[in-house]
Amino acid sequence: MGGRYLARKMLQAIITIAFIVLLNFLLFRLMPGSPDRVLARNLPLDVRQVLLERWGLDRPVFPDQFVAYVGATLQGDLGDSFKFQGVSVVDVLAGRIWPTLLLFGLGEVLAIIIGLGLGAYSGWKRGGPVDYVGNGISLILYSMPYFVIGMILLMVLSGGLGWFPTSGMLEMGATYSSFVDQLLDFLAHLALPLTTVAIGLIGQYSILMRASIIETLGEDYVTTARAKGLTEGYILRRHALPNAMLPAVTLVAINLGYVIAGAITVELVFGWPGLGTLTVEALNSRDYPVLQGVFLLLSISVVLANFAADLLYGFLDPRVRS
């Protein structure tokens, strides 16, 4: 891969992350719970002055406070949670990151396989029964907030039929005789949220892939391949699919930002103890340091995912490297 392409993409990612840190700092100064505002309440002036000095809040916002903030952020110090007194934001986040990563990692993988496959097939057999039904269902799913899918699944499969537990990641207070038991309980809890995430994403991915494959099938090189007498299956596999995958890679990465919005609500519906429920808890108790930590973590993850997609794109498509 071209070194200049790599360097340019890396520079872009670094600049974006720098912007995010700056924005986070500005929000920190703006927010109602900013340190000096909290201090301004109910404290004698002299005590307040001492505290301001200790925390460096008597120094100018720029550059002194900004430098201190960036330094602390780089060292992984995001401050302490308001709600969980004495627990650092990093520790709060660390406790919640794995459930989310697991749920959405698996959900993405499922949705990419099924959604892209369905979309490619519908686009290839445009106007066929699979396309007709699939496209209709995809459009409806596309218009449906994730949490609505979750609420329906929860009501039918969990509340009504009682096949799955309603909430959480493991049965509350349960003791397990073996690791297998624990794993089974975990999988039972995972099933519905995972299905919700996958269904929500399949609609988007299949619409996207369908459009992409239809566009590709209209290209001149596909006509050439047909003129050469190649079979339809061969054209699809060797000519259309590889090229149709390109926009799909980018769009999956761009989509990640929206997926996070869905993630938060799905976790809320199923009481899944991940970053989404943490965000809503922090929102309700106005735990700003945790909210900012979530913002920093999620936005940097999205930037890095986009960077990875750019690299993948450069690897898949030699044209963009020049």
Partner 1 sequence: MTTASVAPANPRHERVRMQSTRDFAGRFARRPDAVIGLAILAVFSLLALVPSLLVGPLETATTASGSALAGPSAVHVLGTDDLGRDILNLTVHGTRISMLIGLLATLVTIVIGTSSGIIAGYVGGAVDSILMRITDFFLVLPTFVLALILAPIVLDLIGSDALVFGIRANLFVTVIVIGVTSWASTARIIRAQALSVRERMFVDRARVIGGSRAHIMRRHILPNVINLIVANTVLTFAGAVLTETTLAFVGLGDPFDPSWGQILNAAESRGAPGLGAWWFFAPPAACVVLVVLAFTLVGGALDDVLNPRARLRR
58 three-state secondary structure:
coil
Q: For residue 193, is the peptide bond before it cis, meaning its omega torsion is within 30 degrees of 0?
A: no
Report how far residue 191's alpha carbon sits from residue 57's, in angstroms, rounded to the nearest whole number. Answer: 49
**Binding of residue 152 to partner 1 (CB under 8 A):** yes
**Binding of residue 216 to partner 1 (CB under 8 A):** no
Name the β-bridge partners of 80.
88
**Binding of residue 257 to partner 1 (CB under 8 A):** yes
What's the CA dihedral at 248, 244, 206, 235 to 10 degrees?
A: -160
Residue from 260, 273, 274, 278 touching partner 1 (CB under 8 A): that is: 260
Residue from 5, 6, 20, 321 touching partner 1 (CB under 8 A): that is: 20
**Binding of residue 98 to partner 1 (CB under 8 A):** no
Least distance (Å) between residue 192 CB and partner 1: 11
**Binding of residue 215 to partner 1 (CB under 8 A):** yes
Determine contact, residues 3/315, Cβ cutoff 8 Å.
no
**Binding of residue 278 to partner 1 (CB under 8 A):** no
**Binding of residue 168 to partner 1 (CB under 8 A):** no
Of 111 and 217, nearer to partner 1 (C-beta) is 217
Report how far residue 113's alpha carbon sits from residue 206's, in angstroms, rounded to the nearest whole number. Answer: 10
Residue from 16, 73, 182, 195 touching partner 1 (CB under 8 A): that is: 16
Report how far residue 29's alpha carbon sits from residue 35's, in angstroms, rounded to the nearest whole number. Answer: 8
**Binding of residue 127 to partner 1 (CB under 8 A):** no
Residues 6+ apart with CB under 8 A from 273: 96, 99, 168, 169, 267
Name the token pair of 319: 């044209």
Which range touches partner 1 (CB under 8 A), out of 75-83, 102-110, 181-189, 298-306?
298-306
**Cβ count within 10 A of residue 228:** 9
Number of residues that bind partner 1 (CB under 8 A): 55
**Binding of residue 139 to partner 1 (CB under 8 A):** yes
**Binding of residue 151 to partner 1 (CB under 8 A):** yes
Characterize 194-211 residue by residue with b for buried, 16 or more Cβ atoms within 10 angstroms of its Cβ, and e for exposed.
Answer: bbbbbbbbbbbbbbbbbb
**Binding of residue 93 to partner 1 (CB under 8 A):** no
**Binding of residue 294 to partner 1 (CB under 8 A):** yes
Residue from 65, 288, 289, 313 touching partner 1 (CB under 8 A): that is: 288
Residue from 1, 19, 77, 105 touching partner 1 (CB under 8 A): that is: 19
**Binding of residue 241 to partner 1 (CB under 8 A):** no
Residues 6+ apart with CB under 8 A from 196: 146, 149, 150, 153, 266, 269, 270
Report how far residue 57's alpha carbon sits from residue 24's, in angstroms, rounded to the nearest whole number. Answer: 17
Which range touches partner 1 (CB under 8 A), out of 69-77, 226-234, 235-243, 249-257?
249-257
**Cβ count within 10 A of residue 133:** 11
Residues 171-210 that bind partner 1 (CB under 8 A): none
User: What's the angle, vertex CA 175, arms to CA 169 and CA 181, rounded to 5?
Assistant: 70
Of 71 and 136, nearer to partner 1 (C-beta) is 136
Contacts to partner 1 by CB under 8 A: 12, 15-16, 19-20, 23, 27, 30-32, 139-140, 142-145, 147-148, 151-152, 154-155, 158-160, 166-167, 214-215, 218, 254, 256-258, 260-261, 264-265, 268-269, 279-280, 283-284, 286, 288, 291-292, 294-295, 298-299, 302-303, 306
